[in-house]
Amino acid sequence: MWYLVFLFGVLYSLQACTPHPESVKPADQPLVIYPEYQEVTIPFNVAPLNFLLRNEGVDAVNVSVKGASDSLQINARGHKVVFPLKAWHALLEAEKGGMLEVSVTARVGGQWLRYLPFTWQVVSDRLDAYVSYRLIEPGYEVWNALQIRERCLENFEERVLADNGQTGGKCMNCHVHGQNNGNLSMFHLRGEGGGTILNRNGKLRKLTLKNEHMVSAAVYGDFHPNGRYGVFSSNIILPMFHTESNRRLEVYDTVSDLAIADFDENRMLISPLTADSATLETFPTFSADGKWVYYCSAPWVTLPDQVSQLRYSLCRIAFDVEKGAWGNQIDTLWDARLNKGSVCHPKASPDGRYLLYTVADYGTFPIWHRETDLQLMDLQTGAIDSLSVVNSNRSDTYHSWSSDSRWFAFASKRGDGQYGRIYFSYLDADGKVHKPFVLPQSDPEKDDLMLKSYNIPDLSATPVPFDASSIKRINKELKAERFD
């Protein structure tokens, strides 16, 4: 009997310590939360949208999330709101396709204040469950302390896929999936003994994607839908430091061409149309059906003196997968001269309907261009959406699609202008784009404390079958395969 008395005492003590609103008054100030999750559209399978209150003096909080048939309530000391994982997923499963109303009451200086409620629209279109990214210092001084990580978006589990502390300090970049599939992915290990790490169905290969006709090894790349081919740029890249106070770093190509890698035959396919020394080509990607290569193209200018005149157009060229051959004509889809801007990072939606890309004033390194915005081209009509609901007053770029073409992820420096964070935005069946939300964290204060950027987010429906120990072994033991 004594243990029942003890248990009752513990429960009573916990209940007594949990703050409950009393004598509540309407707040005369707007609610300020981080992340700014008010009025966002979310997938039913996402991890809890934990947040904290930035209103001054908050020492206790009460939050109620109500749907048509279910609800969830949080009472907590302090200014953080953290939802239980199981209860959160049960609520979103019950309310998918509907709307949740979020009511927040906070204690400030002993007085409980009720803020105006906001809503979360919960859609039944699933967001791919995994995203990979580089975790890297945001400046140019430190590049040799970085990792490629994979995060499950349905909870807060995170793995290290590659750590250059285990690979001799080699630079690692551009981890991309083919067909949003964890069994098809690649990234580059730079430096002596490095190469492109190709993952196909769990088999890891190290490749030297360069032949005598290329100006450098492969740099920026993407998979063909069949997984046999990859399209890449070949670039000689130089950095330039700005003297203007509002810019830090420029990176530009002095020479760049395109090449397609045949992973089955270990050969590189070159087109004379995309190997012209008078033109710079970069950021190639395949169309959803694999019949086209989209890429960015600019006429060569004197560099670095004329870097502000370096503007890239959006182009395409055909690819015959049966013959393994480039087409013989280049089409311009977005003209840099007419649009007075420079395009980069085109990505085709998996359903073939849209092309998502970024536009800056000039150049091909948009991460330090605060004016860089995303744009969406409808490939059926040619119409362009400027995505005003998505873009911020800082750099918005490095994007990828979810496998159902209803979601896209991108990196943004909104907030402090220094550290990139991952955001997700919903594109509904009517072509309307919804307000983005930032990557949820188990502790909503993590973004304030994380002094690294989330760089180049890439979505996948399944996890990759390797980890940092696999990459350490491959780097040490495997010789890179040559390509002709």
Which range scores top for mean pLDDT: 225-239, 323-337, 411-425?
323-337
Residues 93 and 134 in one domain: no
Q: Please determine, for residue 385, whether its predicted confidence score (pLDDT) is greater than 90.
A: yes
Among 69, 96, 123, give the residue marking a domain's end: 123
What is the Cα–Cα distance from 302 to 280, expressed in whole angstroms?
Answer: 12
Q: Which of 151, 172, 173 is nearest to 160 (CA)?
A: 151
Q: What is the pLDDT of residues 279-298, one digit of tens each?
A: 999 999 999 999 999 999 99
User: Is the torsion defined by CA of 386, 388, 390, 395 positive or negative?
Assistant: positive
* Residue 12 located in a structural domain: no
Q: Are 360 and 339 in contact (CB under 8 A)?
A: no
**Total domain count, the chain:** 2
Lowest average pLDDT, out of 150-159, 311-320, 391-400, 422-431, goes to: 391-400
Q: What is the pLDDT of residue 302?
A: 81
Q: What is the pLDDT of residue 190?
A: 87
* Residue 19 located in a structural domain: no
Residues 173 and 85 in one domain: no
Q: Are 374 and 391 in contact (CB under 8 A)?
A: yes
CATH number at residue 333: 2.120.10.30
Q: What is the pLDDT of residue 286?
A: 98
Q: What is the pLDDT of residues 64-77, one digit of tens each?
A: 999 999 999 999 99
The letter for the amino acid at 248 is R
* Residue 410 located in a structural domain: yes
In eight-state DSSP terms, residue 427 is B
The tokens for 369 are 């261009």
SS3 179: coil
Q: What is the pLDDT of residue 240?
A: 56
Q: What is the pLDDT of residue 363?
A: 85
Q: What is the pLDDT of residue 52?
A: 97
The tokens for 99 are 């709307």
The tokens for 55 are 């209103």
Q: What is the pLDDT of residues 131-145, one digit of tens each?
A: 999 998 765 444 567
Residues 106 and 158 in one domain: no
Which string of b and e fits 19-43 if b means at least 16 CB within 10 Å?
beeeeeeebeeebebebbbbebbbb
Residues 374 and 446 in one domain: yes
Q: Are 260 and 237 in contact (CB under 8 A)?
A: no
Residues 269 and 249 in one domain: yes
Residues 34 and 176 in one domain: no
Record the pTM: 0.92
Residues 379 and 276 in one domain: yes
Sheet of 313-320, strands arranged across:
279-286, 292-299, 313-320, 325-334
The letter for the amino acid at 355 is L
Please give the share of the chain, as a percent, with pLDDT higher than 70: 92
Residues 197 and 115 in one domain: no
Residues 176 and 298 in one domain: yes
Q: What is the pLDDT of residues 431-457, one digit of tens each?
A: 999 999 999 999 999 998 888 889 999
Expressed as residue numbers, the domain containing 85 is 27-123
Q: Please determine, for residue 276, whether its predicted confidence score (pLDDT) is greater than 90.
A: no
* Residue 434 located in a structural domain: yes
Q: Please determine, for residue 248, whether its predicted confidence score (pLDDT) is greater than 70.
A: no
Q: How does residue 3 score in pLDDT terms, banded at 50, 70 and 90? A: very low
Among 96, 123, 150, give the residue marking a domain's end: 123
Residues 185 and 252 in one domain: yes
Q: Please determine, for residue 1, whether its predicted confidence score (pLDDT) is greater than 50.
A: no
CATH number at residue 73: 2.60.40.10
The tokens for 128 are 């791919």
DSSP string, 132-165: EEEEE-SSSS--SS-EEEEEETTSS-EEEEEETT
Among 101, 123, 145, give the residue marking a domain's end: 123
Q: Please determine, for residue 271, whether its predicted confidence score (pLDDT) is greater than 70.
A: yes
The letter for the amino acid at 244 is E
Q: What is the pLDDT of residue 12?
A: 31
Question: What mean pLDDT, rounded, does the chain reach?
Answer: 91
Q: Please determine, for residue 222, whether its predicted confidence score (pLDDT) is greater than 60.
A: yes
Residue 111's DSSP bridge partners are 108
The residue written with tokens 């948009």 in the block is 366
Residues 307 and 369 in one domain: yes
Helix (H), strand (E) at residue 449: helix 446-449
What is the Cα–Cα distance from 423 to 439, expressed in whole angstroms?
Answer: 6
The tokens for 145 are 């302390």
